Structure 1
Amino acid sequence: MEAALSSQATEAPQATIGQRLAAAREARGWTIDYCAETLHLPRNVLRKLEADEHLGIDYAIYLRSYITNYGRLLGLSIEAEIPRVQASEPQLVSTGGVSRSRHLLERYARAATYVMFTAVIVVPVAWLGISGALDHNISHLDPLDAAPVAASVAASSEPAASTAQVADATASKPQPLNAPSVVAGVPGLAAAASSPAQPLMASIMPGLEDRSGPAASAAAPVAAPAAGNGVVGAGAHSLDVGLAQASWVEVTAADGKRLAYGLLPADSTKTFRSDQDLTVRIGNASGATVKLDGNPVALDAYRHANVARFRVAVQGGSASATGF
């Protein structure tokens, strides 16, 4: 039978390899599906081999391997004819192109877009961090533990008394309209009268915003501290504050009333009496001593950056100091 199949396949000497493969398969009565399943190849590949359509099949060694295996399955010896099979290369077809100028334009336009978006995000953030978020009034605020604050209070204690005396004397005597001002002969008063009033401000902590504005004064009444010793308020519990150095003192009751808010001079003692809880802040705490109902209060436990902050808690008829 093998001889008959070979003779049938070779009857047409001009038959191509594909025609010989198809004739051998039909002579055996095999279908394309059977051959494809046996060779583990797609059916369309075998159809192209039988039609001598090699375009679209893997080139060179793969195409020749397909033909060799298919011929062996069908009992054909076609190895000698395989070199005649030319694996046609598919022709490359240009589907479109971009000019060099357009390519460069798109490339640099994309980079410029990234730079622009980066600038839009980074520049406002940097500007806010440098100018918008900084407090321009911070130059007018001094920390309580700074030496210039204590020096300014000490230097201004004596001129304050002489200024008050001169003001009383001036008010008691009528002055003609064309008379020179009496403040011109008093040292320090001429400069104060010629320049606008500039309040002396200090902050509880360095960088803390000024709390002496209209909003702060409207929130709670402020009791101006006396220059010397004295007692402020009334109540069963007493808080004694002794200052060896000039210090900022703020004492606020639980109802929001401020018993003290300002700079107290050195060598002064203040007593605050109250039946309510008190919130106490003392600047330049290294030069201050505090007693609560006659018992000393250690400020070191409540001091941070030379500013002591504590709360006087009144409960059950007794008062105690706690931090906050």
Structure 2
Amino acid sequence: MTDQTPLDPTSAGRYAEGCGPALRQARERAGLSLQEVGSQLKMPVRVVQALEEENWQVLGAPVFLRGQLRSYAKLLKIDIEPYLERADLQGVRPAELVSHSHTPRYQRVLESVARRAVYVVITAAIAVPVWVATQSHLGQGSSQATASLDVVPAPAASIDQSAAAAGKAPAVVGAQAAPYVASLTPLPRNGGSGLTLRMTGDSWVQIDAPGGVNLEHGLLKAGEERSFRNGEVGRVVLGNAAAVEVQQAGSTVDLTPYKRANIARFAVSSDGSLAPVAN
């Protein structure tokens, strides 16, 4: 048996025409107010009122409507299934997006081609200037000369045309030199000739010019180097000869003939040849 009171859906005069009126009449017979029903069903009063008024549009999807109606009917202990079968429970429907325009196929193809053409033009506008600048830079680099940082190149010479026209000896005037690219490779100081002293350790030295003028007098540290052209040096004294590497015209000199107690003394002629000297 069931404790629910069946409702006769054909009794229009007694229960009106739908679920809402049937629920309202059953609530009134039970002596309940909308607030009391809402409190027992844990529903807002406006929802209970919308169920009785069959205002389905404010209550959501049909599946929720049926659940709410069944909960309400269960509270009132009535059978509402016959009414649900013939009720038009149309809840809130989602908006349907309907396209009212149709784009022909040829128009879509033209739009696609136009987009690709714009992409190609933008890419070319960026890439071409970069390529031209790179080629210009590489082309200029092939015609540049190289010079050492130790030497400032002299400007290219040109002939004074006015002096030549006057019958005078043509004067050589400076002309703008071609651009140079600096090189970190030093040029040789003496062109492979002359005297070079390279310190492998600390050594006291005395270097005099041919006329007796002192050129160097003091302690040179390891790693230091002194170079002189032929004719600049007349006499050399090395205090720690074992720590000095002497080169003449690019060749290493054996200091044994000039040493005495690790002190080397030698004279340098104008042609660069070495000769031992007395104390």
* TM-score > 0.5 by shorter chain: no
Where on the TM-score scale, by shorter chain, does this alignment land: which range? 0.3 to 0.5
Q: Decide which structure has the larger Cα Rg and report it.
A: 2
TM-score, normalising length: structure 1: 0.37
TM-score, normalising length: structure 2: 0.42
